[in-house]
Structure 1
Amino acid sequence: MEILNKLKNLDAYPKINEDFYSRTFSGGVITVVSSIIILLLFISETRLFLYSATETKLIVDTSRGERLHVNFDITFPSLPCTLLSVDTVDISGEQHYDIRHDITKKRLDHLGNVIESRQGGIGAPKIDRPLQKHGGRLDHNEAYCGTCYGAETSDDQCCNSCEEVREAYRKKGWALTNPDMIDQCTREGFFQKIKDEEGEGCNIHGFLDVSKVAGNFHFSPGKSFHQSGIHAHDLLAFQTESYNISHRINKLSFGKEFPGVVNPLDRAQWKQGGSFGMYQYFIKVVPTIYHGIRGHKINSNQFSVTEHFRDESVYPRPLPGVYFFYDFSPIKVIFTEENRSILHFLTQLCAIIGGVFTVSGIIDAFVYHGARTIKKKRELGKYR
């Protein structure tokens, strides 16, 4: 019994007989309001506990030798697919022209409806007996080795497609002044394809695999002609119209998608006015690692962008096209998704209940004593 009495003396919450309670209207109002506040804060804290929180950390990016996937989906409403080429260049000297693998082009009519979808280039129809390197036509059971029309760099070089002939001429620095005389281009219907696509647009989507160094990739109308050495007067009459580089970026991202990522160029568009030229996007890529709450890890990137248009009237005259210049930030961002602990949640609930209860008590005491003071002064005749 002595121990129980000692424990009784340690009671931090002494009870008051109900006969000494004094309940007031203002106290009831404050109790209802404080209860509503506690309930709202409880719901808010519970939602934060149930949903994961993301912690952000910045570190120096020391990775080397990595590759980067550039995912894109861009629509050119006034540029035929045959005239549209994709090229990449980086500061390490790696260059790729007229890229066709992992890329799909969709021909669009003037209303934006899809006419045809094809992988990479225009494709070549099967035609019997193409022109051989030795000057004759392909015979039965003979291996095909097309002529490069004098642009061969070695005795065993073959040009089996229009693209290979154009590439050979480009390396020689020669002008392809009579493209209709090139058997490969005629077989593939390259120039007829350009005539057939007059007035059309093009949607191009896919991805590029590039080195993780500064560089650029661009979508250029007629770029392949300039690389092949074909002069402007050898192109079709509608080429000037095809240089309209109005475009809409449906999607552009660097690497895999992760929760919360915002790609600032998605659904961006630019309409060309009366002048022609080069539209440039300058992109700062920020390497990013996302750690999911279930342990999965995503290596990706975020980016910021600025835009600039170079008119064709400036010198040197820019090649028309849409250019994306990208550079990498030396800082890597790490997002870590995690849930709050149950102990943290209980601590927050105690803080909410105790804090609101204490503040409500202070307000109630202030109102109660203030009302009593005013009442006494009225009884003494100081207030009427």
Structure 2
Amino acid sequence: MPPRRRLTAFDAFTKTVEDARVRTTAGGVVTIVAVVIIILLIVSEWSDYRRIVNRPELIVDKTRGERLNINLNITFPTIPCEILTLDVMDVSGEQQTEVTHGIIKTRLNEDGSVISTEQLDLHSTGDKGLDPGYCGPCYGAVPVGEEGTRCCNTCEDVRRAYQEVGWAFGDGHGVEQCERENYPKRLQEMAHEGCNIAGTLSVNKVVGNFHFAPGKSYSSPNTHLHDLNIYETSAVRHTFTHHIHHLSFGPHHHTVSNPLDGTVKETDERNFNYMYFVKVVSTRFERIGTLPLDTNQYSVTSHERAIRGGRDEDHPNTMHARGGIPGVFFSYDISPMKVINREERSKSFGSFLIGVCAVAGGVLAVASVIDRGVWEADKALNRKKAV
């Protein structure tokens, strides 16, 4: 048998002679309806193929040694920038006191309008025009065991010397260097101001906290202290009323909501403590056609309470607060789990082609059955009429 004949024997699609075909009006209607249905179903299959679904996955976070960026923008309407301090510390032992890098303080009028924007360190050098041999007194603030004469040529030098020995510094009245720099006058002029703090903190990705508290900070062997002298003795009643405009961990992603954004807390008490306990969860977004983005989501609970002021028995010259320090504290904990939000198409292209074939074949098969039924019914009616 010739090869062509052999292939013909396998033809499953036998052809009908054109002259043996009968075309009817009902068949034309069924065909048009079937084609419309096929088109609609194919469009539906295409839409389903193009649909993107988000498939969340929870895994153990195995990353180590990473840094975490904390983005913040917070306004304190009744505390001047000069006496507001931002500190960071974590369980690894790292401490960042009086943070300046990446953080901007904006001085605000009582009505909230901007006065100026400066780095955290607002102190003047104050040593210009001094005699080259000048050696200013430190007023007895010399650490135990330090040899020789220590010079404090600026108000900031005196403040740091007081800080090292654990003494409260105050507003600089009676200190030659501070009087020369007009530091007490500057503090008095700023007394009715507010402060906005905005920027980004870079911290270890471990359990830790960052807080806003009054006065310069320093650490003793067993505790973290703040010099609250100016805050406690000020004639103006400062409070930690605050407005959290924004607080997030890591890069921005449009689907991530930040629970603390827009939070407003108000108090009339000077010694008041706000605590926010934040649970940070690492999150990875894998979008089709873009690079993956690693960021973080968080949940938060809060607590607030009034505290009593007093003096530290171990540091009698340093004002502190019994039972806590007035301020706003954010304690963050890192979850050991990581959420992966992966975008995928609802079906593959192969599944789309299979769906198209199933739609075309299925609709044509059903249309053929309907057309055959209509044809047979029409013939039966014609036979009855002929009888």
Q: Normalising to structure 2: TM-score of the pair?
A: 0.73
Change (3 A) 1:32 1:167: same
- The residue type paired with residue 311 of structure 1 is R
User: 8 Å contact 2:136–2:151 — kept in the other structure?
Assistant: yes
What is the aligned partner in structure 1 of residue 318 from structure 2?
none
Unpaired segments ≥5 residues, structure 2: 219-224, 309-320
What is the aligned partner in structure 2 of residue 236 from structure 1?
234
Structure 1 Cα separation of the partners of residues 12 and 178 of structure 2: 96
Structure 1 Cα separation of the partners of residues 54 and 336 of structure 2: 22
User: 8 Å contact 1:125–1:187 — kept in the other structure?
Assistant: no
Match 2:281 to one of 278, 286, 291: 286
Percent identity between matched residues is: 32
What is the aligned partner in structure 1 of residue 306 from structure 2?
312
What is the aligned partner in structure 2 of residue 252 from structure 1?
248
SS in 1 for 2:357: helix
Change (3 A) 1:367 1:159: farther
Structure 2 Cα separation of the partners of residues 13 and 76 of structure 1: 82
Encode CA deviations 1:93-143: one digit per residue, 9 max, x unaligned: 3323222233211122345432211112213164656xxxxxxxx42x33x
Unpaired segments ≥5 residues, structure 1: 130-137
What is the aligned partner in structure 2 of residue 87 from structure 1?
87
Does residue 218 of structure 1 match 2:211? Answer: yes
- The residue type paired with residue 241 of structure 2 is I
User: 8 Å contact 1:85–1:224 — kept in the other structure?
Assistant: yes
- The residue type paired with residue 302 of structure 1 is N
- The residue type paired with residue 326 of structure 2 is P
User: 8 Å contact 2:214–2:226 — kept in the other structure?
Assistant: no
Report deviation, 1:215.
0.7
Structure 2 Cα separation of the partners of residues 292 and 161 of structure 1: 56
- The residue type paired with residue 36 of structure 1 is L
User: 8 Å contact 1:42–1:352 — kept in the other structure?
Assistant: no
User: 8 Å contact 2:81–2:194 — kept in the other structure?
Assistant: yes
User: 8 Å contact 2:49–2:345 — kept in the other structure?
Assistant: no
SS in 1 for 2:358: helix
Structure 2 Cα separation of the partners of residues 186 and 372 of structure 1: 111
* 1:24-103 → structure 2 map (5 Å cutoff): 24-42=28-46, 45-46=49-50, 59-103=59-103
Match 1:326 to one of 322, 327, 332: 332
Structure 2 Cα separation of the partners of residues 54 and 236 of structure 1: 55
Match 2:357 to one of 337, 354, 359: 354
Change (3 A) 1:376 1:8: closer
Does residue 194 of structure 1 match 2:187? Answer: yes
Q: RMSD over aligned Cα, in angstroms?
A: 4.3
Match 2:176 to one of 152, 167, 183: 183
Report deviation, 1:92.
2.7
- The residue type paired with residue 39 of structure 2 is S
Structure 2 Cα separation of the partners of residues 114 and 32 of structure 1: 66
Which has the larger strand fraction? 2
Change (3 A) 1:61 1:158: farther
- The residue type paired with residue 268 of structure 1 is G
Q: Normalising to structure 1: TM-score of the pair?
A: 0.73
User: 8 Å contact 2:279–2:299 — kept in the other structure?
Assistant: yes
Structure 1 Cα separation of the partners of residues 252 and 345 of structure 2: 18
- The residue type paired with residue 226 of structure 2 is Q
Change (3 A) 1:336 1:112: same
Encode CA deviations 1:163-199: one digit per residue, 9 max, x unaligned: 5534443443334467312334444544433332344
Number of corresponding residues? 358
- The residue type paired with residue 10 of structure 2 is L
User: 8 Å contact 1:122–1:190 — kept in the other structure?
Assistant: no
Encode CA deviations 1:38-61: one digit per residue, 9 max, x unaligned: 12432553576xxxx887665544
Structure 1 Cα separation of the partners of residues 266 and 17 of structure 2: 84
Structure 1 Cα separation of the partners of residues 63 and 181 of structure 2: 44
